[in-house]
Amino acid sequence: MYQKASFSIDNYCEFRKKALTWLKNHDIFCFLDSNSDSCIKHAHSYSSYDFMVAAGTNAQFFPGKKTSLKSFDKTLLGNQGWFFGFLTYDLKNYFEKLTSENTDNINWPGFYFFSPNIIFLVKDKNVDVLTAQNSLAGPQQVWEQYLSSLPLDYSKGTNKTEITPRITKDEYLSVVKQLKSHIRKGDLYEINFCQEFYAHSALEPFEAFLELTETSPAPFSAFLRLGEKFLVSASPERFLKKQGKKLISQPIKGTSRRGTNTEEDHNLAKALKESPKERSENIMIVDLVRNDLSRISEKKSVKIEELCGIYSFQQVHQMISTVSAQCKTASFEKIIQATFPMGSMTGAPKIKAMQLSEQFETTKRGLYSGSVGYIAPGNDFDFNVVIRSLQYNAKNEYLSYMVGGAITYLSDAEKEYIECIIKASAIEKLLCNGKAAL
């Protein structure tokens, strides 16, 4: 149970900066930012909050001898609290007969959820401050601590990190050729192939998140800390939201760069909308999402609310569809088992795509292709797709970001590689003194 007090704010940018300074005192936190002040609106018709900040822990749940996703599911029965956390991509091994043996220098647990001591819920410039009943400070005191924080600032262009690709361009092109051979044989229709870029370097993750948010505002941005592990994410994609019995998924497939002027930008968006390849990718994933949702939904309740919509972000145009359904189970574990990992980050058929991804990729994805979000009292929830993200382990000063793209029969390997570089550009600029490294 929580104590609550409400306050108001005038400026979202100022709130973001002061909240980040306030969070520096916490070893475990989750900051979810919809960037509603500067971002496209497609996601916000479904969003419950503009910002969510959770810090401190009353209870923690992660894989162990006595803890599994099933036991966490039992904790959620009759849930009257809040939980924040994540699911890593390798949670797939929990649900299917799959393994992961690739390199992993971040080492996230398979999943992690915590019941926070303090929560900030921000909507329409109103802030509800919630504090657990056993918290040392009440809502008013926490708010005063926040108000006394100096806004976080950073020095633009101070990063000079040396970025290294885990595989070369030639190796990438060779893998795409092999994957297309599997597609021709009928092993699968589509696969999301991912590659890692990494560095051994110190990072100031708080400043990195603020700069990334300003460079590439996105409706599902997330900043997460678990001890010495950090996620800095500018995700544009919703994995799954539950609101009452309604489930909403918004898969993204189809990407184009932004133009240098209005006419070029319009033409690039139009070309994306009319591209047979991009539309086929998106529709294949929509069909996969429909199939996943049908396993846990009322008959005939799965609907396509929007197909292949085009939305413009700071760096790219994206093709986004919206699929909804009426859920017939209250089990968080069963919902996740039916839908995770998200089809936009695997391919179709899903299991075969995950097997081949493991075979051809060289790095464990970790939180990339996983999900960060919250579970509210009553078990409504909202989770993103972790893409456009930087993972950082402060203990060994290891930086990692991954990018991927859908490979289909129509894919051009050279164009797929270029698309990966476009997707990575915001983080490349963040780490390389404002200049693209690749």
CA 373 to chain centre: 8
| Residue at 357: amino acid letter | S
User: DSSP string covering 350-376, please?
Assistant: HHHHHHHHHHH--B--TTTTSEEEEE-
Interior/surface letters 207-233, b for 16+ CB within 10 angstroms, e for the rest? bbbbbbbebbbbbbbbbbbbeebbbbb
Distance of alpha carbon 436 from alpha carbon 438, whole angstroms: 6
For residue 276, give the 3-state DSSP assignment: helix
Longest dimension (CA), the chain: 64
Tokens representing 384? 């993103």
Residues annotated as part of the active site: 237, 253
Tokens representing 341? 């990992």
Q: Which of 323, 275, 89, 102 is nearest to 192 (CA)?
A: 89
Distance of alpha carbon 373 from alpha carbon 240, whole angstroms: 10
**Do the Cβ atoms of 323 and 303 come closer than 8 Å?**
yes
* Tokens 């980050």 -> residue: 345
Helix (H) or strand (E) holding 2: strand 2-8
**Do the Cβ atoms of 218 and 354 come closer than 8 Å?**
no
User: DSSP string covering 385-411, please?
Assistant: ---SEEEEETTTTEEEEEEEEEE-TT-
Report the phi/psi class of residue 52: left, alpha or beta, with left for phi > 0 and alpha for psi in -120 to 50.
Answer: beta
Q: Residue 258 has what DSSP assignment?
A: P
Tokens representing 297? 């939904």
Distance of alpha carbon 274 from alpha carbon 103, whole angstroms: 39
Q: Which residues contact 27 (CB under 8 A, 6 or more apart)?
A: 225, 227
